[in-house]
Amino acid sequence: MHFGNRHGPRGNSRPRLSAGSALRHFWYRQNLSRFACRQPSAAVPTWLRVASRTSEDARAYTTAVPNLTSKTVRITLSKLTTIAFLLLLPAAASAQIPTRGNVFFGYSYGSADFSSAGRTNLNGWNGSLEGKVLPWVGFVADLSGLYGSQHLSAVSASKVNTSVNSVVLGPRVSVAVGKFTPFAHALFGVSHIHDSATGLSESDTSFATALGGGIDYRLIHGIGWRVQADMLQTRFFSGTQNNFRLSTGVVLHF
């Protein structure tokens, strides 16, 4: 009995391949997955992959390093300025605040040019406070009060009681020579005059200048005696008065 060609197809069997086709088919199946994995990166040019990696590295570095923006720099400079100011403030304060000087108080005589009848003799007091900003330069606050009486005119017997108070400020220079310390100053401020008599009372305030100087003599350590002379100019009642002031008294050095 003939059951068919034994070399023909049987059931589900596949057609036979040649040896070369079988080897190519086997190689293709073995490397198909490898080609599939490499296909996306192989399609990207080499220069683009390098540029992408460089960009990723730059982003990673930027994330790791703090961003020093202009705002951060401004905050840093502000902090440094504040610290420097706080460190220099005590030194500046000690350099500006005088730690040496002197205090004077004594008797004062004045020859005032207030009346056409002649000069008026006044008596009173004079005091001052000086702070040294340099060994030979100081700043002075000078106060004085002069009191007396004057005739209204050369032919009148009536007298007017007069008081003059002055406050002047300014620089003073001085040089110590042994026990003596001569000085000179230029002071500027205001003066106030008040005249009173029977049925009369008037007053005025004007700009005042005191140009002069004097000398201190050291008696013992820290204590001396002062003689001082000034030309005290005032401008009362729309006029100009050149008044001479001579003062003497005790001066305390510190």
Q: Does 164 or 21 have the greater pLDDT score?
A: 164
Q: What is the pLDDT of residues 107-119, one digit of tens each?
A: 999 999 887 777 8
Q: How many domains does the chain contain in total?
A: 2
Burial class from Cβ neighbours inside 10 Å (0-12, 13-18, 19+) for residue 13 reads exposed
Same domain, 65 and 160: no
E strand map for the chain:
101-115, 118-134, 137-151, 159-174, 180-197, 200-220, 223-234, 241-253
Same domain, 77 and 122: no
Q: What is the pLDDT of residues 217-249, one digit of tens each?
A: 999 999 999 999 999 999 999 999 999 999 999
Q: What is the pLDDT of residues 29-73, one digit of tens each?
A: 666 555 555 545 445 555 545 555 555 555 554 444 455 455 555
Q: Which of 79, 94, 109 is the last residue of a domain?
A: 94
Q: Please state the separation of Cα 35 from the chain's center in Å.
A: 77
Q: What is the pLDDT of residues 148-198, one digit of tens each?
A: 998 766 556 678 899 999 999 999 999 999 999 999 999 999 999 999 988
The pLDDT assigned to 23 comes to 63
The pLDDT assigned to 159 comes to 83
Same domain, 116 and 235: yes
Report how far residue 23's alpha carbon sits from residue 17's, in angstroms, rounded to the nearest whole number.
10
Same domain, 176 and 228: yes
Domain that holds residue 249: 101-253
Q: Position of tokens 């002649």? A: 118
Q: Which of 94, 111, 126 is the last residue of a domain?
A: 94
Report how far residue 164's alpha carbon sits from residue 194's, in angstroms, rounded to the nearest whole number.
7
Same domain, 158 and 62: no
| Greatest C-alpha distance within the chain | 187
Same domain, 143 and 235: yes
